[in-house]
Amino acid sequence: MGLKRTKLLGIQSVTGIATVGILTVGTTQTAGGVGIASTTYLRGVVMHNTGLGTATSSLYIYPAAEAATGVGKTAYRLTRVDLNANETFFYEMNYPLVLVNQEKIVVEVTAPALVVGGAGIGSAINYQILGDTDIV
């Protein structure tokens, strides 16, 4: 199989405090409906806080056996960053991370530390996943 030049996902918006699986390899339909994301090569993630206050955004890669429910598991976290209102953060890897066989990209929005301030509630963070995929 060759790589298909396509957008992995459209912009995914997470509102309020939540942990959400936004892409599962072998299950998730790619943007534009060209097929199911098979082997996926994650190059980066853009996070943008469109909310009114500061929130903490985290990015995780979950193995196939783990469900993306409840609070994100620290062992699978790649990055965690406090985003002020209208702030953008770009997470980029030097070499693509290869995801296969039901592995998941999971994002989480939480309240920031008391030192930072903000409640996280009312936050809306947009995520754009950058990478390539084989199409099944």
Nearest to residue 57, comparing CAs of 76, 96, 84? 84
What stretches in the chain show pLDDT beneath 70?
1-6, 32-34, 114-122, 135-136
Per-residue pLDDT, 66: 84
Per-residue pLDDT, 5: 58
Per-residue pLDDT, 2: 59
Per-residue pLDDT, 8: 80
Q: Where are the beta strands (DSSP E) in 5-87?
A: 12-15, 18-24, 37-49, 55-62, 77-83
Per-residue pLDDT, 30: 75
Per-residue pLDDT, 91: 94
The dihedral over CA atoms of 128, 36, 70, 74, expressed in degrees to the nearest 10, equals -70
Per-residue pLDDT, 59: 94
- Encoded amino acid at 122, one letter: G
